[in-house]
């Protein structure tokens, strides 16, 4: 079979249709002679999300005049699809004049890369917050108890009577015991994998007691008893998210009652955390406990494994947060039917 130039061109075009990146080719007069599916979906571009928008061809002439040949230009911009969606992108323009003048434009969607960058930054920020929290805990609480214990033991050496020695040693032992309990509790709170050894349901009940009930807030926990198999990374993430929600409640909500529900919804697990606190104006500027991931990051983490967070709140009327995450071998279609009713 003889391969003609027309066949090669047709095969190349068919192959380019399968590429996720937008590929657009302009002739010497600036007219579009080819655009793959991703390229045809782009309506305009802008230098930032809220700046003036340009038709792609006009923008190319703006940044790369027609008389400049054999140039390669790269820039991060925002592209706008015909459906109205705006997304960060990398624009690459090749202008060549090897026989026929043409311009080849490549538009690469950076949404996934940007999401990875944000999640990486969120994790780094959370890790730093944990380090600061541990440092403050060791300095303000444990070091103080150990110092008191040391002083008590030193005092026992100077005591004149056996009864005084026994009393100061007993006091020192009491402070050391308190330090040990504090370390055990904080280790349990921060060591998510340790807490999850008994399963997510029991771990959440313990977490609710340790963080919320200990503050004198009434709590109620309900598990529907259904089997809820989860991937380990999803289970760990849900535990950490619940911990952040509980800390938010004790630091911000001024609640007297907190209810937690753990249930199976189609092929997804749903965790409901509801309080009767002061609520807040939900405008995507959600409060954070200041020591963890923050609610906005919880939402991004859920989205990263096809989950979702829903918030219902109003000033003076409490807050209800619902976390949805896929069960092991769950399906996205079932998820949609589960909570988009």
Q: What average pLDDT does the segment 8-19 reach?
A: 86
Residue 253 pLDDT more than 60? yes
Measured CA to CA, the distance from residue 239 to residue 203 in angstroms comes to: 8
Q: Are 272 and 320 in contact (CB under 8 A)?
A: yes
Residue 233 pLDDT more than 60? yes
| pLDDT band, residue 99 (cuts 50/70/90) | low
- What DSSP line would sit under 168-200, residue for residue? HHHHHHHHHHHHHHHHHHHHHHH-HHHHGGG-H
Q: Residue by residue, what is the 3-state secondary structure of 207-254?
A: HHHHHHHHHCCEEEEEECCCCCCCCHHHHHHHHHHHHHHHHHHHHHHC
First to last CA, the chain: 57
Q: Which of 131-140, 172-181, 195-204, 311-320 has the highest mean pLDDT?
A: 311-320
Residue with tokens 């026929």: 100
Q: Which two tokens stand for residue 43?
A: 């309506």
Domains of the chain: 5-109 (3.30.450.20), 110-190 (no CATH), 196-341 (3.30.565.10)
């Amino acid at each position: 079979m003889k391969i003609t130039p027309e066949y090669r061109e047709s095969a190349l075009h068919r192959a380019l249709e399968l590429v996720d990146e937008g590929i657009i080719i302009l002739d010497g007069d600036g007219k579009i002679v080819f655009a793959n599916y991703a390229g045809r979906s782009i309506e305009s571009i802008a230098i930032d999300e809220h700046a003036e928008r340009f038709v792609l061809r006009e923008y190319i002439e703006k940044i790369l005049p027609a008389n400049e040949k054999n140039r390669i230009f790269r820039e991060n911009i925002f592209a706008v699809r015909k459906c109205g969606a705006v997304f960060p992108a990398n624009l690459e323009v090749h202008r060549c004049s090897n026989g026929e003048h043409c311009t080849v434009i490549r538009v690469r969607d950076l949404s996934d890369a940007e999401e990875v960058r944000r999640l990486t930054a969120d994790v780094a920020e959370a890790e730093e917050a944990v380090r600061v929290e541990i440092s403050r805990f060791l300095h303000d609480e444990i070091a103080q108890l150990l110092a008191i214990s040391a002083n008590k033991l030193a005092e026992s050496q100077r005591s004149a009577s056996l009864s005084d020695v026994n009393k100061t040693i007993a006091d020192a032992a009491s402070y050391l015991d308190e330090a040990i309990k504090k370390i055990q509790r904080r280790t349990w709170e921060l060591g998510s994998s340790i807490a999850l050894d008994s399963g997510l349901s029991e771990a959440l009940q313990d977490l609710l007691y340790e963080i919320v009930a200990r503050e004198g807030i009434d709590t109620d926990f309900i598990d529907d008893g259904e089997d809820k198999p989860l991937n380990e990374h999803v289970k760990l993430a849900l535990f950490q998210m619940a911990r952040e929600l509980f800390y938010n409640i004790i630091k911000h909500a001024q609640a007297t009652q907190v209810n937690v529900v753990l249930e199976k919804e189609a092929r997804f697990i749903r965790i409901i955390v509801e309080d009767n606190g002061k609520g807040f104006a939900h405008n995507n500027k959600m409060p954070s406990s200041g020591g963890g991931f923050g609610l906005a990051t919880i939402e991004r983490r859920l989205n990263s494994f096809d989950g979702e967070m829903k918030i219902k709140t109003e000033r003076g009327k409490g807050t209800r947060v619902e976390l949805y995450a896929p069960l092991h071998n769950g399906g996205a279609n079932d998820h949609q039917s589960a909570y988009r009713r």
